[in-house]
A and B are shown apart, each in its own frame.
Chain A
Amino acid sequence: DAMVIQNPRYQVTQFGKPVTLSCSQTLNHNVMYWYQQKSSQAPKLLFHYYDKDFNNEADTPDNFQSRRPNTSFCFLDIRSPGLGDAAMYLCATSRGSHGSYEQYFGPGTRLTVT
């Protein structure tokens, strides 16, 4: 089945130690998104890629970076994680063509910062 895959599902990192979360998709979608979801809150969009074009949300901290080396993969890098960065990180994709509306989500990576 075509899908969005996130690895690892659970990640523990130390305060200030860089961490990378990965997302891959077999849907061949043009757009890939990264969301941060804190406990009992709605997902918050951090940034998205439309093909190779990177689009940062205005309020996304500089501590968060992303890479998309090819259509299938997208990475979220947190340069110096703080305790406030502990959250579920969700990757999503969408086709990117007019008339396609929904986003497809991966299972998420739960990040713990110790």
Chain B
Amino acid sequence: AQSVTQLGSHVSVSEGALVLLRCNYSSSVPPYLFWYVQYPNQGLQLLLKYTSAATLVKGINGFEAEFKKSETSFHLTKPSAHMSDAAEYFCAVSDERNTGFQKLVFGTGTRLLVSP
């Protein structure tokens, strides 16, 4: 069964600094991978997805992630943090390749704190 590990329940950065949120996956087949962001008392918003096309995936709000099969990783980065990036970030994996139903398995989340 697939799983996702997010290292670090909290990550703190200064405004303007590099953001790096770590995600490692486990899957018996090539997976689909996702990063979602959740602001307080809100639903989840898709930041970006990997679906076996380009290994470097660009998303919204300046975020990007690189799929590295050799490291089973899909880390999320942003060159320069903004105060508005403060939120909870979830990495998720799905390996449902032949059906229309995508069961997402979420990591435990990483709270990004951005200080002025």
Q: Which residues of A line the B interface, CB within 8 A?
A: 4, 6, 9, 30-31, 40-43, 45, 48, 50, 55, 88, 90, 92, 94-98, 100-108, 110
Contact = CB atoms under 8 A, between A and B. Distances in A.
B34 interface: yes
Nearest to A30: B100
7 contacts: A40-B109, A43-B90, A43-B106, A98-B98, A98-B100, A101-B102, A103-B102
A40 B32 CA distance: 24
A108 B42 contact: yes
A105 B45 contact: yes
B103 A45 contact: yes
Tell me the interface secondary structure of chain B in the complex.
loop
A56 B32 CA distance: 22
A108 B43 contact: yes
A50 B106 CA distance: 21
Interface of B: 32, 34, 36, 41-46, 49, 51, 90, 94, 98-104, 106-109
Contacts of B32: 101
B104 A45 contact: yes
A6 B79 CA distance: 34
A104 to B, nearest CB: 8
A105 B45 CA distance: 7
A38 to B, nearest CB: 12
By secondary structure, the A interface counts as: loop
A92 B43 CA distance: 9
Given A40-B109, A42-B106, A101-B102, 16 more contacts: A6-B43, A31-B102, A42-B90, A42-B108, A43-B90, A88-B41, A90-B44, A92-B44, A94-B101, A94-B102, A96-B100, A97-B100, A98-B99, A102-B49, A105-B44, A108-B41
Contacts of B51: 101
Contacts of A42: 90, 106-109
Contacts of B90: 42-43
A103 B96 CA distance: 13
Contacts of B44: 43, 90, 92, 105
